[in-house]
Structure 1
Amino acid sequence: MTDTAVTDSERLRAAASSVLLGNWAGGSTVPSRTLYPHQWSWDSAFIAIGLRHLSPRRARRELETLFSAQWLSDGRVPHIVFNDSVPADAYFPGPDFWQVGVPGEAGLTGTSGIVQPPVHALAAWEVHKTDPEGSFGLGFLRRLYPRLVQWHDYLRVHRDLGGHGLASIVHPWESGWDNSPCWDAPLARVNPADPTTYVRRDLAHSDAADRPTDLDYGRYVRLCTDYREADYDDTRIEHAFAVEDPCFNALLAVSEHALADIAEAVGADPAPHRERAGQLTSALIDRLYDPASGIFRCRDLRANSANGEDALIDELSASGLIPLVIPGLPDDIVRALLHTASGDRFGLGRVHLLPSYDLLSPAFDPARYWRGPSWFNIAWLFHRGLRQYGAEADAKQLREGLLDAAGRSGFAEYVDPHTGEGRGIRSFSWTAATTLDLIGDRD
């Protein structure tokens, strides 16, 4: 490595560290000080992966704060943990909307009622490996392991809405890919909430051209309201939106592998987790892999509610490339995913990072949230998959592109895949976190 490269890495590391330290809120890290002033579930997992390079103690605290708000009733990990030092109306939907309390937890006013992708066991294992002595000494894995098991059990038992071994999301926000074109058809069946009954807070902090439309937002609020009125009981509601998403389930499979490693470390039996990871992988392939397009696709469980039939959604999202992170995929599927990623629809190596949606689709939008822009956490995941399957040249190019885009954009929330222009919020935590992790990989 040249002296210039070392200097650049040191400057980038210092800048990324400053973002994470600046967004630290005492027990966890906010995604941003403006648009996202609370703790978000899968954000915290990526943040912990980055924080471990600065402070393993703080990285452990990040995950333990999140899991302190885990629902004792069913094991779900909510997608937002609200901080009582933040005004209740600073974010919508806030704690008053969700009407979920967290009794006895200082600093927490409540949580949301939906979830986000289960990347937490992977994060916990990576954090532990950075400082195993400190982790063992403080009982980090021993405390977190049963909570992670309960979290996975909730998804495995309560969310297998299709009955074929995959977890379903019941709201677009649960995917993490909030307003992907994949959700357009399922959402079209949802009557939007009355726009006079709520106020969007996101538009005060971000360009409306970057954010979901008012119509989509009304549908999001309707789904949340219906779930709340059913007391968030998956047995009491026929979810109007029910989708099997490849990214969500791929992360569940990877986290089951991580949970097996954690189990072994704490003296528990890893075999059930290895078995579940294998079952999830098989179900993903059987249910969501489309050999004709060389990608995994989302499955709409309510595609034909009259006769109960489901169907693959006719949209190509980078969510369908993320299963590359799963170890042990069949060789033909690995080759197909690499071919699809580098083809004209995703342009790996010819555009900035990895676009979130099909570049050739009429629905592609380079600026609007998850309808095309490239996200740093998604690039981090795909980089992990590339390295796992020996695509080192592609992995190196993606890593260097991520580091360049992060530093140049001021750690933007996401970037335009064609121009590399930063979009959304700046000083975004998971952008800084994935940057820190990949600087370590470079070094």
Structure 2
Amino acid sequence: MTMDLHEQARQILRGNDRGGYTLPTHGLYPYQWNWDSAFAAWGFATFDIARAWDEFDTLLASQWDTGMVPHIIFHEVDPSYFPGPDVWSTGQSPATSGISQPPVAATMARLVWEMDKAAGHDRLAEIYPKLVAWHRWWHEVRCVHGPAAIIHPWESGRDNCPDWDIGMDGVDGSRVGPYTRRDTGHVDPSMRPHKEQYDRYIAMVQFGVSVGWDQRQIVADGPFLMADPGITFILLRAHADLIVLGEVLGHDTSEIEGWAAQLRSALPEIWNADLGAYDARNLRNGRFAGVLGSGALLAYVADAGNPTLDEHLIRVWDAVSYGIPSADPQADIFDARRYWRGPSWPFLNALIALGFREMGRHDLDARLRRETAQAIAKNGFAEYFDPHDATACGGANFTWTAAIWLTWAGQDLEHAKGAA
């Protein structure tokens, strides 16, 4: 069984490979997604290191002149996906979306480089300036209020998580016009965002088009602007990894060190003392979301945990059986199978576990790895899982789940065998 799961994972990566970039899965996501590609590279590195670096090259080849790396790159026309390039209307070639996504690429590039430093040195040297430019964009355009901010829930990568509800309330989706969603034709609609949410998502895209995707104007005047703990922590961690890579390559990293110090000093602005946890914050009015979300628990990957947050972590984790839930199981908003409102995500578990290991909490890493492996062994390489019973949710044969098996979850094979 062990070899079967490893080979299945490799076959998923190969099957989703489009020659330099990887689809998250067939049908549901027919293009290249930003942070999905970074995890795909990590997975490819376990059996094809050159292909791993190709993934970074293709992703960064569509970087905007501003430094932004978009969240979707539309390499080929595929009418099965909405909203497609005609809706985004960014004027890029190849066509892209007009927002970014969590900047995990530097972290994944370091992990890939560490697998074979000699083979990766020159490839790393080629992409390093592009990673620096992207981090500079985050600092100058999205961190102007302190923590990292997002202009659309999709930019967070955690699209419909409860963190964004208070910001979404201020978005008018009543005038977006008719459209046909494609996601609910591929998976159970009960596992996807509601139509009312989707209307507001499209309204935000339409605003971006109306201002020619001027990112500074969107930050200043757009209908949605929220501080995102998840991206804040991912960017903090990515800064640290980029500094290490820069030093290896002989670069002056003082600019990145300055960004990292400034971002860490902004963490108190997203600490909700009433909640006892990091929390998303509406930057239009200063209000906290008031919910314990998955973004808060990414604090561990940035060495930003504390005893109060530890208590919340164990409480929500003990309430389920298969990994860390993406929302608090004891909250009214919890929905075990609806996208980011409750399910457990293997790739997010792997990111959090990376922090556990560096804290020396190998017990927590082992537990999270074991539970993630059990879910995959029971029900396959799904996009995400019901954290109570490991029901497979979302897309099947998912790239980043296969990558996480090869790089992390598949290390705990005896427990996975017992669960299958």
The CA distance in 1 between the partners of 2:410 and 2:80, in whole Å, is 35
Alignment partner of 1:403 is 2:373? yes
C-alpha separation in 2, matches of 1:400 and 1:59: 26
- Pair 1:300-2:282 in alignment: yes
Q: CA deviation at 1:407?
A: 2.6
Match for 1:418 among 378, 382, 388? 388
CA pair 442-132 structure 1, distance change in 2 beyond 3 A: farther
Q: Note the C-alpha offset of 1:171.
A: 0.2
- Give the residue type in structure 2 aligned to 1:383: A
Matching residue within 387, 398, 405 for 2:357: 387
1:337 deviates by 2.5
Structure 2 residue matching 1:127: 3-state secondary structure: helix
Give deviations 1:68-121, integer Å, cap 9, x for gaps: 00001x11000001122x43x221111111123444xxxxx4100011111111
| Structure with higher helix content | 2
Is 1:61 aligned with 2:54? Answer: yes
Residues 20-61 of structure 1, C-alpha deviations (whole Å, 9 max, x = no match): 111111111100011001000011111111111121111111
1:334 to 306, 324, 337: 306
Taking the aligned partners of 2:95 and 2:380, their CA distance within structure 1 comes to 32
TM-score, structure 2 length as denominator?
0.94
Identity of aligned residues (%): 36
Q: What is the one-letter code of the residue matched to 1:339?
A: E
How far the C-alpha of 1:349 sits from its partner, in A, is: 7.8
C-alpha deviation, 1:272, in angstroms? 2.9
- Does structure 2 conserve the Cα–Cα contact (< 8 Å) formed by 1:406 and 1:432? no
Correspondent of 2:69 among 74, 77, 95: 77
- Counterpart CA distance in 2 for 1:294 and 1:406 is 32
Aligned position for 1:311: 287
Cα deviations by residue, 1:313-353 (Å, 9 ceiling, x for unpaired) = 211112101011113x4xxx43222221111xx12485211
1:7-18 equivalence runs, <5 A: 8-18=1-11
Indicate which of 402, 411, 415 corresponds to 1:432. Answer: 402
Q: CA deviation at 1:194?
A: 4.0
Worse-superposed segment, 184-193 or 170-179: 184-193
Q: Partner of 1:307 in structure 2?
A: none
Aligned-pair CA distance for 1:199: 1.3
Deviation at 1:279, TM superposition (A): 2.4
Q: Compute the displacement of 1:228 (Å).
A: 1.4
Could you report, residue by residue, the CA deviation over 1:175-227 in whole angstroms, capped at 9, with x for unpaired residues? Answer: 11100112112111111154643211111101111111111000000001101
Q: Where in structure 2 are the equivalents of 1:238-277 lying within 5 Å?
A: 238-277=221-260
Secondary structure of 2:247's counterpart equals helix
Aligned to 1:302, what secondary structure does the other structure show? coil
Note the 1:17-416 alignment, pairs <5 A. 17-72=10-65, 74-84=66-76, 86-87=77-78, 89-103=79-93, 109-136=94-121, 139-162=122-145, 164=146, 166-194=147-175, 196-237=177-218, 238-284=221-267, 286-303=268-285, 310-327=286-303, 329=304, 333-343=305-315, 346-348=316-318, 350-416=320-386
* Letter aligned with residue 278 of structure 2: F
Q: Give distance in 2, aligned partners of 1:147 and 1:297.
A: 30
Decide whether the 8 Å contact of 2:381 with 2:398 is kept in 1: yes
1:298, CA displacement in angstroms?
Answer: 0.6
Mapped partners of 1:395, 1:65: distance in 2? 32
| Maintained 8 Å contact 1:9/1:439 | no
SS state at 1:81 partner: strand
Indicate conservation of the 8 Å contact 1:349/1:397, yes or no.
no
Secondary structure of the equivalent of 1:351?
Answer: coil
**SS of 1:236's equivalent?**
helix
CA separation of 1:51 and 1:334: change in aligned 2, threshold 3 A:
farther
* CA deviation string 1:358-399 (max 9, x = no partner): 111111101111111111111111111221212222210110
Q: CA 1:334/1:245 → structure 2, altered by over 3 Å: closer, same or farther?
A: same
Distance 2:310 2:15 in 1: 37
CA contact 1:413–1:423 (8 Å) conserved in 2: yes
- 1:106 is matched with none
Structure 2 CA distance, aligned partners of 1:380 and 1:276? 25
TM-score (norm 1): 0.89
How far is the alpha carbon of 1:168 from its aligned partner?
Answer: 0.8
Distance 1:47 1:294 in 2: 34
Give the total of aligned pairs.
411
Structure 1 position 440, deviation (Å)? 6.6
Unaligned runs of 5+ in 2: 414-420
- 267-276 or 429-438, which deviates more: 267-276
Q: Which amino acid aligns with 2:295?
A: S
Shifted more, 268-277 versus 198-207: the winner is 268-277
Gaps of 5+ in 1: 1-7, 104-108, 304-309
- In 1, the alpha carbon distance for the partners of 2:10 and 2:323 equals 22
Q: Does the 8 Å contact 1:206/1:424 carry over to 2?
A: yes
